Structure 1
């Protein structure tokens, strides 16, 4: 590889050379790296003049295990917020990689994808493929609509670049014109990519760092689509900041001394303590040092993701595509680090795990705006298809976010989102396998409204948190609810748990 990743000082020079003042203000106003969270700045005006093209492009950056508390350390994501719209109440259908990504690809809840875990009969790539979910993915629909489609990075748990699926050659799923997918890319070095049906190995050189490789390939893809005057949809799925949270070599020593946030829930169990958490002990000094070290690695590992976003936006500007392209940033799930005495992990129904960033900038998207409308990852596939002119499929469980993106208040919007979680079976090769003390609850279903979360566990326990009055979710008020209120919450949950298609799921959530 000869195309080395650019250090930040070269990114600054690129900003000046391109004259991308409107799109890449973060190069000069995002804050210096290694000095703590970047400061906020006033909302900037919309990026490119002249309005959108009839067929806009879409770039979707999906991170792995990225929680809201990492965004302050990502100046280019903060710039994206200033240029676009932030969804303050965006949730995932399950705080676990494969179920969440399956919902993103298809627009369906886990009860309709059949993917509830990362492996076994009810999870992983095998279940996704066996259940016909590849055909429901947004890629075939966009390709049919005339889009050039590209996928780069992490696909689904259990996928391996050399998988043939009976074809005799490394398999490329339907709908993708460009396919560069990894299997075990978590270490960021020494991995294989399926590059359009050919397995290519990457080693230990700095230029082999996976997030940077994805960024280079993304810029090449954009350049080719621009040359051919083709509208495109490009998903860039990073492994960062998932453990081991390997930073790019250039970022390995940034943010010395940074500590994990210590909010009200840090080392504090909810009351009453749920049965599955009663064995947890207070965090020891060793636990807290370990949490801080892991958080620091996560902060460092997302610097390359931030650089990827800057590079992609610079390429769009250089090719004259910035005003015609939606740039979407999100995560497959959140991550807790010491909250509720839980050691680092995910899978719970707390907002630390199910509430993640969603930021969008692009044609007709108001700059510097936020919306509190309840959105969920099942909405992304319908949104992509709607923005591309293919129309949101009525068979998907989610709804297009396009009206919200373009400033509508959407008065008929949903009032609840669904979370479905199956207690995962143990698998030695599952990078998300959770020890009990990291947050490994029993199977549950939950609904999250604008002001509360209701959880029903398979063992019969119930939890209810009034997040309007108790935003840290420390006081379980389930016992204080009237029988009528519990019955209404249960009925709403059951309706969502069995819905199929946009109309039925919208009605169930109304």
Structure 2
């Protein structure tokens, strides 16, 4: 087996990307952005046993967009994909909190994007900053990096101006934007230093963090340390801004038209949505525009993944690195007469891609219920770091390596607080959007059961009715209703990996 290539050789293939960063930002007059630190032309990295992690987390990506992501499809062909991977809440901040900590919302206390039960404020107030996988990996000797989008409410201002100011615990490299949704004209905290980016094409945020990620890999490889890198993109979140080079792609593309699209009958749905009128032609046209822009915007994410993998290959790290791709939640586009959005317990919003390649990962489609609470325990497990004592999730490594644990969970749990009445929230649904009341749900490939706090119930036979067209709650026997209620109660009150895995 050939040894790793010298870093000087690796830089040749990356020269165009590295050069692009030097002209990345159109800065405000008082601020000039600096390029990412240049990798040292050191000797080849030393072989090591501890594997690396490169995790790319997208925002609001539903599975249908994978057809526009050839790098992810190639990862599926060689690695493992999960067909029943469910988020703990179809909303940015609670889902990302679960990813960082391995905790369900009922454990973390983070249920929304703002207010007393949400956002970075609740994350910090509840003492979660030192309970993340980054802290555990850093203590285990890993070089850690985070780039892109953090938690709702994060302000990239440098605070007191000291090195590392406004950088959370656990991260050695920190390059995080505030309002990066438009992909241009944003401010980034780069290791405690505020840098303003403008509107030139080179400032496109996904490309900026792509180059920074490549440099992080090069520098960590040169240092001979295992590393963990998370790049959390704003794409394809609204306003769905593609890279300028992709803005004319897919002319005429339309949103998928499943049987649930502009659903024929809604009489079986709960009160918060059953009286919705059918979508108008103008609304459908807008959904097609939204879908086309989303397809365009994920192209830059896929290119980033390709370049990260190329950097890993050039430094001899690819075979020793777990590359993980996923999303914080899904997205509906016309299903059940709902305009673009999320927050519901329907499969469109809670089932997202999880694709993994890396050492010992078997090529397979894994149907066991997995959740975003499992990512932090998985990263900690593969690094040989100390377990996260408050985590409700468990390591996915046994499944990735082809094992079949007999004590695996039967369902995924979804917990949501609503309705969302904050117009300043980037996920505010607006007047006509999906804005359900609080609910808890259990789900797997076979069924979805939802309990709303207003007393409404939903039950779908996912095996026979994958589009979730018919709510069959009224058809269930009293005994079956009691079983579902008990199963949901066990999960929504569980604490810790053992308790939550067997509930």
Given the two structures, how large is their TM-score scaled by the length of structure 2?
A: 0.89
Question: Match for residue 357 of structure 1?
Answer: 353
Q: Is the 8 A contact 2:158 2:192 kept in 1?
A: no
Deviation at 1:437, TM superposition (A): 2.6
Deviation at 1:270, TM superposition (A): 4.4
Q: Which of 107, 110, 129 lines up with 1:112 in the alignment?
A: 107
Q: Does 1:261 align with 2:256?
A: yes
Q: Does 1:375 align with 2:370?
A: yes
C-alpha RMSD of matched pairs (Å): 1.7
SS in 1 for 2:195: strand
Question: Match for residue 193 of structure 1?
Answer: 188
Q: Does 1:326 align with 2:322?
A: yes
Deviation at 1:390, TM superposition (A): 1.2
Deviation at 1:163, TM superposition (A): 6.2
Q: Is the 8 A contact 1:55 1:231 kept in 2?
A: yes
Question: Match for residue 317 of structure 1?
Answer: 313
Question: Match for residue 168 of structure 2?
Answer: 173
Question: Match for residue 57 of structure 1?
Answer: 52
Given the two structures, how large is their TM-score scaled by the length of structure 1?
A: 0.88
Deviation at 1:491, TM superposition (A): 1.3
Equivalent residue runs for 1:50-89 within 5 Å: 53-89=48-84
Deviation at 1:170, TM superposition (A): 3.5
Q: Which of 400, 416, 424 lines up with 1:429 in the alignment?
A: 424
Q: Distance in 2 between matches of 1:62 and 1:165?
A: 30
CA deviation digits over 1:135-171, x for unaligned, max 9?
1110010000000000000000111101649989731
Q: Which of 225, 229, 232 lines up with 2:227 in the alignment?
A: 232
Q: Does 1:275 align with 2:291?
A: no
Q: Distance in 1 between matches of 2:228 and 2:342?
A: 29
Query: Is there any run of 5+ residues in structure 1 with no aligned partner, and where?
Result: 6-51
The ranges of structure 1 where at least 4 consecutive aligned residues each deviate by more than 6 angstroms after the TM superposition are 165-169
Q: Does 1:183 align with 2:178?
A: yes
Question: Match for residue 160 of structure 1?
Answer: 155
Q: Distance in 2 between matches of 1:182 and 1:169?
A: 15
Deviation at 1:506, TM superposition (A): 1.5
Question: Match for residue 37 of structure 2?
Answer: none
Change over 3 Å in CA distance of 1:380–1:169 after alignment to 2: closer
Q: Which of 91, 95, 101 lines up with 2:96 in the alignment?
A: 101
Q: Which of 384, 402, 426 lines up with 2:397 in the alignment?
A: 402
Q: Distance in 2 between matches of 1:163 and 1:92?
A: 32
CA deviation digits over 1:68-100, x for unaligned, max 9?
010011111101111210001100000000010
* Larger deviation, residues 435-444 vs 185-194: 435-444
Q: Which of 472, 477, 482 lines up with 1:477 in the alignment?
A: 472
SS in 1 for 2:304: helix
Question: Match for residue 291 of structure 1?
Answer: 287
Deviation at 1:279, TM superposition (A): 3.0
Q: Is the 8 A contact 1:118 1:424 kept in 2?
A: no
Q: Distance in 2 between matches of 1:483 and 1:114?
A: 32
Question: Match for residue 43 of structure 1?
Answer: none
Q: Does 1:3 align with 2:19?
A: yes
Q: Which of 284, 296, 301 lines up with 1:300 in the alignment?
A: 296
Q: Distance in 2 between matches of 1:274 and 1:165?
A: 50
Q: Distance in 2 between matches of 1:210 and 1:449?
A: 35
Q: Distance in 2 between matches of 1:404 and 1:145?
A: 24
Change over 3 Å in CA distance of 1:436–1:493 after alignment to 2: farther
Question: Match for residue 119 of structure 2?
Answer: 124
SS in 2 for 1:278: coil
Equivalent residue runs for 1:140-155 within 5 Å: 140-155=135-150
Question: Match for residue 24 of structure 2?
Answer: none
Q: Distance in 1 between matches of 2:261 and 2:395?
A: 36
Q: Is the 8 A contact 2:164 2:191 kept in 1?
A: no
Query: Is there any run of 5+ residues in structure 2 with no aligned partner, and where?
Result: 1-16, 22-46
SS in 2 for 1:469: coil
Q: Distance in 1 between matches of 2:387 and 2:502?
A: 17
Q: Distance in 2 between matches of 1:391 and 1:257?
A: 51
Question: Match for residue 453 of structure 1?
Answer: 448
CA deviation digits over 1:225-255, x for unaligned, max 9?
1111110000000000000010001101011
Q: Is the 8 A contact 1:379 1:400 kept in 2?
A: yes
Q: Is the 8 A contact 2:446 2:462 kept in 1?
A: yes
Q: Is the 8 A contact 2:419 2:436 kept in 1?
A: no
How many matched pairs?
461
Q: Distance in 2 between matches of 1:189 and 1:281?
A: 36
Change over 3 Å in CA distance of 1:213–1:476 after alignment to 2: same
Q: Is the 8 A contact 1:3 1:207 kept in 2?
A: no
Q: Is the 8 A contact 1:392 1:400 kept in 2?
A: no
Deviation at 1:189, TM superposition (A): 0.4
Question: Match for residue 461 of structure 2?
Answer: 466
Q: Is the 8 A contact 1:382 1:391 kept in 2?
A: no
Change over 3 Å in CA distance of 1:202–1:77 after alignment to 2: same
